[in-house]
A and B are shown apart, each in its own frame.
Chain A
């Protein structure tokens, strides 16, 4: 009984191989002939549209399964996500309530209106698409390597987007720059002759003369030394420091812009101390201990030996920086993502020696310090 079946199958084998080889030849022939019209104007035939959509959807669903969703605080993250969307995504995905730029309207597949499409995906799936991009669609992957933490701000924004009207959106997207529509005229006396400083992109997130940064994940720049700010912008521009938010902005700056911006922020007086969130005094005390004396057992030097008064101008000043930001940067350092620059390499070594508790305590301690202290001490020195 089985013998005849085997013989029959054996007879079929050459045919099967022949069809397979023929299929490959046919596909190659079609590709080479140029019959298939890949013009965006041609559109996709319905069957292909269906097939591509199926493939894309299943790929996103399956690949995003292992993504762990952290707790997302929308109030803290949405302004940051919105400002990035405004600068990086809105060109293709349109500003709510405004028509899309006709150039991008002609893309195939057309960039989806995310007010309608975002709710169709889960947080994991949105994260996966923003983080990895999508082949053949023009959707790029996240430009800050290893900065998954930043992607979540965009995800938070995408979840808030469907309910936003134009006015809401612009409020979040423009951040502090809306209040300073005259920001262009900022060359305060000391900047006379240096040309205008365009702060439109910076003010979307960072501090101004009268406002705190729009999100606790955004560092406050006012009062940092210009040497540090210059170094940082150069590191972002040269892809040495990773950030999907800052790299695209820094890429558009030339050396003169960087110098002007650094000088401007160095001269900016830090606005009134932010309302310090209630933190346990024990945590702050542990942070103070670490900042002033370090931890000999874990070979952690005192934070203030580099981040204190009278230190190198290209080291950052931490006093008054937000707890969230310091904590996040310590995590990024611990993951080794900032080790490409010589400065980051030093802090990477030290950050990896910190326990989670110590990192949190240090962040809490510096967040509670007044940057004014710094200023006063410095003026004394002068």
Chain B
């Protein structure tokens, strides 16, 4: 009995965690997710009403008065209740669902959206901002968007199937090899929410998340100009030397330095992101040191080779440098 009580308490705690608006489909922080949430409530309440109705009918068919039972078994009630009602209800839901799916797209096309590409990789996100002049700026593991403007995200994958999901803004859409899927949404107001890969994609799948930062349009424009520029760290010196001489540039790009690797996340402005390691560590000097020296423990199976030979002071300089890449 006590055990059962404990279990229920723990499960209730899990439910409470779901109430956090940061990664909740009920948060509905934009029109697209608001519609989805609305549809969810319609379905939930409708399903509850139908369940109650069925229970009542079952009770009547077992214990009700004879003439009621007789009516229930009649051809009319079977045609209306068993065929017409489900066909109409389900068709209406289906059509409404399709309309919701399409709505974002038509709206966005009419209003010149912000174009961003996100490529799922084991186990992180490559984010590419497409500028109006045709150029692109690559970033990773964080999405920045202007609030109020429609967003169009092209979703693809570099390896296996991933699924891109920012519950607060939109439904999830799979990233499928050889295909580009498009996601449309709008964020109502500035704020930070989190997203997650929603399709099992191998070892570190559960640790493949990211933050989405919605900013005021003017802040966003300023941010994009800065993001597009080369790295201008406040602290170069020794850390930069360690970064370049240890071979980090073989996989990572820091624009404005010889590091031009394309295998791992772009680190040009990594210091300004919300998190490290695709949403799993705080973006601090200590966070960098922890990632570099223990990433195989923090995020098992991730594809970065282990770098276990840095001395304390080397690790410190390297972390300071990376953290200063704002």
Contact = CB atoms under 8 A, between A and B. Distances in A.
B305 A349 contact: yes
A349 B303 CA distance: 8
Contact of A301 (B244, B245, B251, B309): B251
B250 interface: yes
A52 interface: no
B307 interface: yes
A342 B309 contact: yes
Given A301-B250, A305-B249, A306-B247, A345 B263 contact: no
B250 A306 contact: yes
Interface residues of A, number: 20
B111 interface: no
Interface residues of B, number: 17
Nearest to B249: A305
B246 interface: yes
Contacts of A347: 305
Contacts of A310: 244-245
A346 B305 contact: yes
A375 interface: no
A350 interface: yes
Interface string A319-358: 0000000000000000000000011011101100000000
B263 A296 contact: yes
A345 B304 CA distance: 11
Contacts of B306: 342, 345-346, 349
A301 B263 contact: yes
B262 interface: yes
A262 B245 CA distance: 21
Given A342-B308, A346-B305, 15 more contacts: A296-B263, A300-B263, A301-B250, A301-B251, A305-B249, A305-B251, A305-B261, A310-B244, A312-B247, A314-B309, A315-B247, A342-B306, A342-B307, A342-B309, A346-B306
Given A342-B307, A345-B308, A346-B305, A302 B245 contact: no
Interface of B: 244-251, 261-263, 303, 305-309
B262 to A, nearest CB: 5
The interface centre, meaning the residue of A300, A342, A347 with most chain B CB atoms within 10 A of its CB, is: A342
Nearest to A347: B305
Interface of A: 294, 296, 299-302, 305-306, 310-312, 314-315, 342-343, 345-347, 349-350
Contacts of A305: 247-251, 261
Contacts of B307: 342, 346
A224 to B, nearest CB: 16
Given A301-B251, A342-B309, A343-B309, A312 B261 contact: no
Contact of B261 (A302, A342, A350): A302
Nearest to A294: B250
B247 A311 contact: yes
A302 B305 contact: no
A346 B250 CA distance: 12
Nearest 4 pairs of A and B residues by beta carbon: A301-B250, A305-B250, A306-B247, A342-B308
B303 A299 contact: yes
A236 B258 CA distance: 34
6 contacts: A299-B263, A306-B247, A312-B245, A312-B247, A345-B305, A349-B306
Contacts of A314: 309
A310 B306 CA distance: 21
A51 B303 CA distance: 56
Nearest to B259: A305
Contacts of A312: 245-247
